[in-house]
Structure 1
Amino acid sequence: MNQVTLRPVLEEDLAIFEAEFYTPEGVGPYQWFGHRTPDRERRAFAETGLLGDDGGTLTVCSGDEVTGRVEWFKRAWGRPLTSWCWEIAIGLRPSFQGRGIGAEAQRQLAAYLFDHTRAHRIQAFTDSGNRAEQRALEKAGFQREGVIRQAQWRCGRWHDQVLYSLLRPEAGPAEP
């Protein structure tokens, strides 16, 4: 595996994301929620570069190749001013899955968010049947918290989700 790096999204990355993540084959069985337009993402890129105070997107690279993207969103477990955390998500191009890139990208994203924000908690969830992503989150240092029953509507039925988290003290010291 080449070295995994995260970087801001470039305009040319958007075409790769659209080609890879806007079809059932590209996103796979756990992330297909129906057809959607890329216009919203392109407008957000034009306005903010997909980096904002309440979340963002970074491109995942392995060597010089774009392998996918990671995203983060602000979530709250109570009052948003005092009880917010980051929720992360990842999308890897199908040809790069199963190589450890996802675990490393999610580990790097968590480190980045702990280094550059005041977040104490980072969480992620995945379908209860998505064993590969569950292993990737665990390799990235996340701990399984439990099952959220029938929380996600996808492909005509409800699906259980597994919640994972990483707390700042578990992530180790920040880099200087």
Structure 2
Amino acid sequence: MTTTGGVSLRPVTAEDLDLFETAFAGEDGTGPFQWFGFTASRLRRRHAEDGLLGPDGGMLSVLAGRDTVGRVEWFKSTWGRMDTSFCWTLGIGLVPGARGRGFGTQAQRQLARYLFEHTRVERVQAWTDVRNLAEQRALEKAGFTREGVLRGAQWRGGRWHDQVLFSILRGDEEKS
């Protein structure tokens, strides 16, 4: 894959899984907007089955130089029938020391480009907590457009949280 701003994406390795399991094991690692409690990780099993790259989504490691600093993932979402109206929803998790350095912006921009180049979708979307201003800025810098607020959309920490929805459409980069 291409490298932008010293950031690159590549398939997840077994060593990356070790980092993810350690770095994202608790709220200190995930951050307050991505902590959903302790759950069983199925990443190793999926990695053994398909390398975390499947027809309904996948995961890639985010590298800053030669260091793995996080992961980006995508999954199918729909705004109608799945066979005619699906899009990709992406997510990102960076280790605490990599946050606030522009890596997330570059990784999300690269993932959107990758998905447009290698799949037929028209839309890639992401959402984040209304209080997660850093991620909102990162998505906007990556070329995503803020679409609106999804009220009470995410259960986390014992209550429902509003989310801000962003999208980028095929060809948006050429328009700007």
Taking structure 1 as the reference length, what is the TM-score of the superposition? 0.95
Aligned pair partner of 2:7 in 4, 8, 17:
4
| 5+ long unaligned stretches in structure 1 | none
| Deviation for aligned residue 1:129 | 0.2
Match of 2:28 in 1: 25
Q: Which amino acid aligns with 1:117?
A: T
Point out 4+ residue stretches in structure 1 off by more than 4 angstroms: none
Aligned pair partner of 1:60 in 56, 59, 62:
62
Aligned pair partner of 1:118 in 113, 117, 120:
120
The 2-side partners of 1:45 and 1:119 are apart by 24
| 5+ long unaligned stretches in structure 2 | none
Count of paired positions: 172
Q: State whether structure 2 residue 17 is matched by structure 1 residue 14.
A: yes
Residue aligned with 1:119, SS? coil
| Aligned residues with identical type, % of pairs | 60
Residue aligned with 1:81, SS? helix
| Deviation for aligned residue 1:169 | 1.9
Q: Which amino acid aligns with 1:3?
A: G
The 2-side partners of 1:171 and 1:61 are apart by 23
Aligned pair partner of 2:130 in 121, 128, 135:
128
The 2-side partners of 1:53 and 1:2 are apart by 29
In the TM superposition, 1:11-160 aligns within 5 A as: 11-38=14-41, 40-160=42-162
Q: Deviations over 1:50-103 (max 9, x none)?
A: 000010000000001000000000100010000000000000000000000000
Taking structure 2 as the reference length, what is the TM-score of the superposition? 0.95
Q: Is the 8 A contact 2:109 2:143 kept in 1?
A: yes
What RMSD, in angstroms, separates the aligned Cα atoms of the two structures? 1.3
